[in-house]
Amino acid sequence: MDLKSKFHPNILTKAEITKLIRQKSLDIGFTDVGFSRVRVLSEEIDNYKRWLNNSYHADMEYLANNFYKRFDPSLLVDDAKTVISVIINYYPKELQNNDTYQVSKYAYGRDYHKVIKGKLKQLSKYINEEITPIKYRFFTDSAPVLDKKWAQLSGLGWTGKNSLLINKKMGSFFFIGELIIDLELDYGSPIKDACGTCTKCIDACPTDAIISDKIIDANKCISYLTIENKSEIGSIFTGNFNNNIFGCDICQDVCPWNSKAKPTNENDFSPKEDFLSLNNEDWAKLDKTTFDKIFNGTAVKRAKYEGLKRNINFISKKPQ
């Protein structure tokens, strides 16, 4: 009996196939995996429309495109049955010194899009070749998919007041990816919100970007202002960036659930040589050649050299 016959869904139960996929996901290097049944997320549509109508997405017009695909995975994969949600810890083994300009921890190492897509490609190949032929597509923050919602429905965490997914065992320093397939599996269940009355993330945001429970105004968010924003940063924010020149981790750093954060086992997320040794004088003198050497292949390239220098110059200004 060949491997495909051995693992054919007519022989194995849904529970057995789900277990195989779970184990393969962990073997590939994902920290955890969850499974949710494909359906139309009709309860999310009005909330998302309201968020867009309030212009909380700033000038990120791609967040308004392909509107209905965001709520219905069957518009992305024909006859889709299951969303497999994977998460992978990125919390660094070493951190920058607190007294230097800060880069968000997610961008220390290799661009997560490449890392996660590579692992999802392995997982989809395994299912397609070793279990049964499937129709599938995989994504990580690169398509109209409500990744946090699907991960939440699968039981991987709950949505915190800072709008990030929080996992009881590992906090929120992780990436999310999805593999949408046309195969039925066993499904998880959402878990209870465990933020309680805590408002530390809301209270700590220096630009008041968390305007209410789970709602973010990107126009005020340091992550947006230092990465996606292509314009000059408004003087209203002078002195409020807390040394953040690329992204921001403030609302995660203060979250009690992140006291459980442990260093990642993924070597690709380790910082490139020379990054951690940069001090403010080095950042101020940063030239294009050095920028390319240190940050090529990382998410920092998203801001480009000109954007990073803009951010450094903005933070170096003194409040009037």
Which residues are tagged catalytic?
Answer: 141
**What is the token pair recorded at 278?**
């940069």
CA of 81: how far to CAs of 27, 36, 136, 263, in Å? Answer: 24, 9, 10, 34
Q: Which of 233, 240, 242, 257 is nearest to 310 (CA)?
A: 233
Q: For residues 191-219, b (16+ Cβ closer than 10 Å) or e, as one string?
A: eeeebeeeeebbebbebebbeeeebbbbb
Type and span of the H or E element at 18: helix 14-28
For 138, residues 6+ apart whose C-beta sits below 8 A from its C-beta are: 117, 120, 121, 123, 124, 177, 178, 179, 180
Question: What is the 8-class DSSP label of residue 94?
Answer: S
Question: What is the 8-class DSSP label of residue 12?
Answer: S
Query: How many other β-carbons are positioned within 10 Å of the β-carbon of residue 94?
Result: 10
Q: Which of 130, 95, 91 is nearest to 2 (CA)?
A: 130
